Each structure stands twice: as structure tokens, then as C-alpha cells.
Amino acid sequence: MNTVGNSFSSIFQEIQLPQQKKLSAVDRSSNQLLFPRVFVPSIDIDFQGFISEVKSNKALLEKYLLSCGAILLRGFPVSTASNFNDVVEALGFKEFPYIGGAASRTHVTGRIFTANKAPPENIITFHHEMSNLPEYPSKLYFFCETEPANGGETPIVFSNHIYQQILKKHPDFVLKLEELGLTYKRFLGNEDDDSKPVGRSWKSSFMTDDKSIAEERAAKMCMKLEWMEDGVNTITGPLPAFKVDGNTGNKTWFNAMFTAHAWKDSANGIAYGNGTPLPSSIVDDCHKLCHQECVAIPWERGDVLLLDNLAVLHSRRSFQPPRRILASLAI
């Protein structure tokens, strides 16, 4: 661990970890930024003092978040889900409801819920949160309540960098995605299934057990429903495969292609917007690029990770329990 020298307020000291990478600044200058930026306390401080500093410096924190897409706060006095909720509230951004999301989660307290509860041996592929829907959160917050015994990192990768790499390697594929977009097909059962990375039921996904309300909420998400005895088939799209980040002007690889491709079975999957299949070998190669370019910092108890959802893809590696990561979404 090296001290970088940058700091703001009286408590946030920037450090450098061996897993970080350097990225070109999003303003297209010759500067390079560490990804993610990592801050530790420069002085001893109690929890209420920390919350006060977060509130006082939330504009700077957002500025840093938008400049590189990810900030890790390490070593601060955050130890419980309630503490984490206070941090989320102190950051001052409106809550984004998890309506339509695919992962099975449990509400913990306030604005906090569990991260994806898929079994520890499962690898969760790179994705932007809820990018298979027309509305999505702009910011994600993660908190390590219990660090993994082994593994369990949350790898992150800068989306514009991945877009540029894929454009260079598979230009015709990118052109076709630009032209046609993507359509997602997903089956939602009547009950949650925690054994699957995308095992959320329709009742949890739409936050209701009333089918008419579910249909209203689905329509707002450009989602068509086909009711079955054991659940509902959903079709969403076509949706764009890329977006332009309004904060930077950068084009981002903003879709759930890798996750949906991993779902692929008779009830779930992804296709071009006109319904034709995606080339599996190219999809796999694009996902391989994410693995090659990602940053994976091992979790430590008390870590708080802030992500710009439009700028950064994230995933999850398999792990040896225990591991408890909590999450929150914001606009």
C-alpha cells in the first residue's frame, strides 16, 4: 500500500493498491487516473464524524466518482448494515427501487439489501446493473459486512475502455449491435429461487402479487408478459446495446449481454433486436476481454465501494463462505 498524496477534507487520504490500474482521464487529457480511487482515513475518527465528513464532501466524492467511475472507501468506521444505510443517506442521492431486477435479494434495512444471493460456487458475469431495462440506477453502493474466507471479489472494469477494445477487435459485431439493439427473454417463476443468479420471482421483480399491477409495471419497462402456470415469460426490447455517458461524452458498453448469454436455455436468453441469435464465440471473446482488463480488489470488512453504473461494469467471483456483501441503488 502506497500513499498517493492526494487528500480532501481532514480525513480522506488517497492510497494506491497493487491491483489498481491506470486509465486515461475521461476529459481526454493526457492525465491518467487510478481505477478505482482508494481513500483511507488520515486521522482517527468515529462514525458520526465520518458521516459528517461525507455530507460535507459529497460534491467532491461525486466529482471523483464521475472522473474514474469507482471509489473504494477502506478503513472507515462502518461496521453494520445500519451504518451503511447512514452512509448511503449521507451521500444524498435519491433511492432507485429494484423493480424489474433479476437477482434474488433480501431487504435488510432502510435502503439496503443483500447483493446477489446465488450460491458461492457461481460466477456472476460482468454487467451494468439493470441495463436490460429502459430505466436503471445511475449509482451503486456496496458494503462488505463479512469478508470472504477466500475469493468472492467484485471485479470492475471501465465500460468505455471495453467498448473501445471490442470495437477494435469486432467492428462488424459492434456495428450490427448499434443498428439492431438487443432483446432479452427471461422466465420469472412464482417464487424466488436463490440457487440461480437470476432466480427472482415475478412477485419480487414487480414488488406485487397482483398480476394486473405487475402488467402495468412491466409495460412501463417496455416488457411484454406471457403468463404460464408456473410463472411468466418476459420479453424486453429492443433496447440499445450502448449508451453515451452524459457526464463524459464517452460511449459505454451498456447492456446485460454477458449475463443474459449465460442464462441461455429454453426460457431465457438474448438476441439481436430483430430476434436473430448472437454469435456465441464473439460474445464469449468480448467477455474474456472484460476479465483481462478488470480490477479485482479483495474485500475487507467495512469496505464501501461506490460505482458509477453507466461507466463501470461489475461481476462476482466464486468464493468460500462466509461472505456478506450488501448493496444499495441510487438515481
Domains of the chain: 12-158+298-330 (3.60.130.10), 160-290 (3.60.130.10)
Tell me the per-residue pLDDT of 112-125, one tens digit each, with 9 for 90 and over: 999 999 999 999 99
Characterise 326 by phi-psi region: left (phi > 0), alpha (psi -120 to 50), beta (else).
beta
Average pLDDT of the segment spanning 181-197:
92
Average pLDDT of the segment spanning 259-280:
91
Contacts with 139 (C-beta within 8 Å, 6 or more apart), sequence order: 65, 93, 306, 307, 308, 309, 329, 330, 331
Q: Which residue has the higher pLDDT, 101 or 91?
A: 91
pTM, to two decimals? 0.94
Question: In 10 A of CB 181, how many CB atoms?
Answer: 17
Look at residue 7 in the predicted model and tell me its pLDDT: 65
Burial class of residue 30 (count of CB atoms within 10 Å of its CB; 0-12, 13-18, 19+) = exposed
Instruction: Give CA angle at 13 (148, 159), nearest 5°.
Output: 60
DSSP string, 61-88: HHHHHHHHSEEEE-SSS--SHHHHHHHH
Query: What is the share, in percent, of the chain residues with pLDDT greater than 70?
Result: 96
Across the chain, mean pLDDT equals: 93
The answer to whether 185 touches 235, Cβ cutoff 8 Å, is yes
Tell me the per-residue pLDDT of 224-238, one tens digit each, with 9 for 90 and over: 999 999 999 999 999
Average pLDDT of the segment spanning 282-291:
98
